Chains A and B, each alone.
Chain A
Amino acid sequence: SAVISQKPSRDICQRGTSLTIQCQVDSQVTMMFWYRQQPGQSLTLIATANQGSEATYESGFVIDKFPISRPNLTFSTLTVSNMSPEDSSIYLCSVEGGNFNYGYTFGSGTRLTVV
């Protein structure tokens, strides 16, 4: 299965600023997924990122707030823009690993606290 390196692992940010989270995969994957896990909650899909096209956002998430880049088949970034305390969450990326039999692999998550 794929191995994902996600960073930063955690950050404390001032409201109104932006944070960019990176995910690097050790193999080429078609689709990368970004999830948000609010405190004590389950995971919610933010968007799906395909290389060479704009990301597809789920209901309730917009590109201006969560811009995503996917410059190649092994890398993606998610930016949390103009942050407020409500954005304090764990953000995780996920990939299909190139072989569905292995399930989907998740990054180790970024714990974001906005003060």
Chain B
Amino acid sequence: AQTVTQSQPEMSVQEAETVTLSCTYDTSENNYYLFWYKQPPSRQMILVIRQEAYKQQNATENRFSVNFQKAAKSFSLKISDSQLGDTAMYFCAFMVNTGNQFYFGTGTSLTVIP
């Protein structure tokens, strides 16, 4: 079975500072994909960043980067230079390469403080 754990229900960060959101997962698969999705109050699920398990290099997208530790099954999200618009619920998600079902974590509510 695949599980995704986000151990931080809520976090806050000062504007322009850096924050790291944690995510761990459990799987016996070797080929899979990891995602971070952002859900602002508008409810729209927005893809923030994606990581393929076979790639050793950590993915980056502008101010967003991940620390992917395959052996530890850890996939944390770092947000640099936090902006007020980053305030949202963040979901870590996992997908096996051979399937199409997302397994979502329970989410981390991030608040950026002016």
Contacts and interface: CB of A to CB of B under 8 A. Distances in A.
A90 B104 contact: no
B100 A103 contact: no
Contact residue range for chain B? Answer: 10 to 19
Interface in A43-63: 43-45, 48, 58
Tier of interface size on chain A? 20 to 34
Question: Per DSSP, are chain B's interface residues mostly helix, strand or loop, or mixed?
Answer: loop
Interface stretch (B24-32, B38-46, B77-85): B38-46
B106 A45 contact: no
B101 A42 contact: no
Interface string B74-95: 0000000000000000010000
B42 A31 contact: no
A100 B100 CA distance: 10
Contacts of A96: 100
Interface of B: 33, 35, 37, 42-45, 47, 50, 91, 100-102, 104-107
Interface of A: 31, 33, 41-45, 48, 58, 90, 92, 94, 96, 100, 102-106, 108-109, 111
